[in-house]
Chain A
Amino acid sequence: MEIFAALASVLSDPIILMWVFAAAIVGMVVGAIPGLTASAAIAMLLPVTFYMQPLAALAFLYVIGKSGRYGGSIAAILFNTPGTAASAATQIDGYPLSKRGMSSKAMKVATLSSITGDYVGEILLIAGVGIIAAIALKMGPPELFAVYFAAFVVIGSVIGKSITRGLASAALGVLIKMVGLDPISSEERFTFGSFDLSNGISLVPLMIGIFVLGEVFSQLEARGKPIEQFDDPDNDDARARNRLTWAEYKPCIPHVIRSSFIGSFIGMLPGLGSAIAAFVAYGEGKRRAKNPEEWGKGALEGIAAPEAANNAVSGPSMAPLLTLGIPGSIIGAILIGVFLIHGIQVGPTLFLTQKELIYQLFACGLVGIAAYGLIGYYGASFVGRFILKIPTDVLYPVIFLTSFVAAYSARGSMFDVLIMVIAGFGGWLMKCYDFNPAAFVISFVLAGGAEETFRQSLLLSDHGALIFFTRPVALGFLIVGVVAVVARARSLSKQAKEASLNDA
């Protein structure tokens, strides 16, 4: 019932509504620009939100994340260049439709499916998050440490081409977090006598470096690649061709419902994210489709399935963040920074201390979905044409300069700016060599809590580390972590064998 009160509160606050609508537009535009992701925009805008009210700040960034996921489909359908990794699955059927002069119809299917998926995910989050929080409150330090361990291992091993480099990214994130003073004994760690390092490495410049400056480095590689757009001609025939009828959308509905639940389930698992959800939903949709031969050649269902799954991830990915303090995605990791800067402790007690704020955030999410749905349904083509007018050779230098001032603004520290530059180049190197920047950042965020719960567990225990094996829930999560690595190793080994057989 809290959600209705929160919804009424949000709808009666014009300032919050303004931020939500602004976020819907910003997210859509940023998501539609090839190479620029919602995560990069959120990281860049993070310092600006320090000067806003907590709800406005959180809602602004949360809705950018939602709208950005949808915005990726604009570039995928109109330009044959996925704006985000998740929209690559939408491109498979979206671009063939554009080539046949039906880009508006494809965008309408993407919009309807995205908002349906997003609403399913958000409603599941609202309905289930309180239950998860109540369970999380009963967990002690050993159980929480085991959850952290499983998150480290799953995030490090499941995404990317290499398990060893993914896990190494997670280990590097832990090591970088250890720089500074030990929070319990105030012992210096990895400071090498530097005063700046004794304050530790701040999350904000690290994220701006990896996701914003790192992307500018990547864009130097992609520079000069032409973008092709198939624009719908403005005549009666084209308008009739692009009108979406109920008969056309009806076959998409089972795919949208199934994909929404696939996306919601994948969203709850830390680290997997929208791209995996979109491709799983596309594969599952094609397998169950009545017209599988049309998939890949411009089937409307082939747009509906990945778009619904891609956006359904958004809400449930907040569940581990809000209940356990474990960010399930890059956007979740960035939102932790907002919570912390506003003095809000994320974790099991959040629903005791900030229940009203959290439900208002969910309400902003519901309003935000409607906002980007309306703007996208009627204005996606306009956004696409607007993106084409933005010269990337000017856009990325501007983003480059903004990353410096944004990193400085967080704490007013030039050392943070230097950290941002190092993280930016490091982030680009990580992407070049198949390391996992997302695992690095999420592990950096998790490491503090993991260390605290680990040491608390040892203090509670009479038998040292055996405490993790004698408590069933803790043991269960440890096993989940080990099973995830083994399963991923087997899957990669199978893929390598198949590839070598194909080569032979």
Chain B
Amino acid sequence: MSSRTLNTNTVIGGLMTLFGLAAVVASMGINPDPDGGWGARIFPLVGSVALVILGVVECAKGLKSPPPVSTSSGDRGVMGRILALLMLSLAYVWLIGKIGYLISTGLAAVGALMIFGIRNPIGLLIAAIVCPAIYHVIFFVLLGVFPPYGEWFEPLDIIQGY
């Protein structure tokens, strides 16, 4: 087992326990059957209690583990890129809802390529134009999926002449 696994047992066990306890509280808020049986509550409650028990076991294992090792600068660089990709993902979802699919996909294509180390401006420009066009043709024209429309501005209104 890796040293990181050993060192993180306590933290992960604690998080599992907390999540499980929150789920137990939420499960107790589910109305049982009117005739007094467990009904809709039993499965969520069993799953939550199982998570609490497993969290406690994980914590107990963690207390026997050696102290954590500090993170190297290389790991921090990777973590930065991963967080950047997560932020881009959330921003992309939000932007689709506000300015429609086409523009937000162009922006997300540039962002994702930059996170993966592509810096060529012509390549980025081509991606910004080609990616939305290809996805639009495949999914929204050929497959007939109804596209997500932007709340603030929708370029499809202009392109399709509405």
Residues on A facing B (Cβ under 8 Å):
48, 51, 161-162, 164-165, 167-168, 171-172, 174-175, 178, 182, 184-185, 187-190, 192, 213, 216-217, 220-221, 223-224, 392-394, 396-398, 400-402, 404-405, 408-409, 412, 414, 417-418, 421, 424-425, 428, 433-434, 447, 450-451, 454-455, 458, 496, 499
* CB–CB A433/B131 < 8 A: no
Interface size class of B (residues with CB under 8 A): 35 or more
- From known contacts A184-B39, A190-B26, infer whether A175 and B51 are also in contact, taking CB-CB under 8 Å: yes
* Chain A hits for B109, CB < 8 A: 397, 401
Residue of A nearest to B49 (CB): A171
- From known contacts A184-B39, A394-B118, infer whether A496 and B131 are also in contact, taking CB-CB under 8 Å: no
CA distance A72 to B35 in the complex (A): 55
Distance in Å: Cβ of B121 to nearest Cβ of chain A: 15
CA distance A161 to B90 in the complex (A): 31
The verdict on B63 contacting chain A, using a C-beta distance below 8 Å, is no
* CB–CB B97/A171 < 8 A: no
Residue of A nearest to B135 (CB): A405
The verdict on B112 contacting chain A, using a C-beta distance below 8 Å, is yes
Distance in Å: Cβ of A379 to nearest Cβ of chain B: 26
* Chain A hits for B42, CB < 8 A: 454-455
* CB–CB A451/B43 < 8 A: yes
* CB–CB A161/B47 < 8 A: no
* CB–CB B58/A417 < 8 A: no
* CB–CB A397/B40 < 8 A: no
Distance in Å: Cβ of B8 to nearest Cβ of chain A: 6
* CB–CB A401/B93 < 8 A: no
The verdict on B36 contacting chain A, using a C-beta distance below 8 Å, is no
- From known contacts A412-B146, A421-B93, infer whether A161 and B40 are also in contact, taking CB-CB under 8 Å: no
Interface centre among B50, B116, B131 (most CB of A within 10 A): B116
* CB–CB A447/B43 < 8 A: yes
Residue of A nearest to B116 (CB): A393
Contact of B144 among A51, A164, A428 (CB under 8 A): A51
* Chain B hits for A409, CB < 8 A: 139, 143, 145
Distance in Å: Cβ of A221 to nearest Cβ of chain B: 5
* CB–CB B82/A164 < 8 A: no
Contact of A220 among B12, B81, B118 (CB under 8 A): B81
Interface centre among A51, A175, A213, A393 (most CB of B within 10 A): A175
Contact of A414 among B1, B20, B96 (CB under 8 A): B96
Number of A-B contacts (CB under 8 A): 156
Can you list 13 A-B pairs, Cβ within 8 angstroms, ordered by A? A51-B143, A167-B50, A168-B58, A172-B47, A187-B40, A188-B30, A393-B117, A409-B143, A412-B148, A418-B93, A425-B89, A447-B43, A496-B1
Residue of A nearest to B26 (CB): A190
* CB–CB A401/B112 < 8 A: yes
* CB–CB B135/A401 < 8 A: yes
* Chain B hits for A162, CB < 8 A: 5, 58
Q: Which of B65-114 contact A (CB under 8 A)?
A: 78, 81-82, 85-86, 89-90, 92-93, 96-97, 105, 108-109, 112-113
* Chain B hits for A418, CB < 8 A: 93
* CB–CB B148/A408 < 8 A: yes
- From known contacts A161-B5, A220-B78, A394-B118, infer whether A189 and B40 are also in contact, taking CB-CB under 8 Å: yes
Residue of A nearest to B123 (CB): A394
Contact of B55 among A48, A51, A168, A396 (CB under 8 A): A168
CA distance A174 to B43 in the complex (A): 8
The verdict on B156 contacting chain A, using a C-beta distance below 8 Å, is no
Interface centre among B8, B108, B118, B145 (most CB of A within 10 A): B145
* CB–CB B92/A404 < 8 A: yes
Residue of A nearest to B83 (CB): A425
Distance in Å: Cβ of B71 to nearest Cβ of chain A: 13
CA distance A162 to B116 in the complex (A): 32
Distance in Å: Cβ of A430 to nearest Cβ of chain B: 11
The verdict on B161 contacting chain A, using a C-beta distance below 8 Å, is no
Q: CB-defined interface of B16-51 with A at 8 Å, one 1/0 digit per residue?
A: 100010010011001101000101101110111011
* Chain B hits for A224, CB < 8 A: 117
* Chain B hits for A192, CB < 8 A: 26
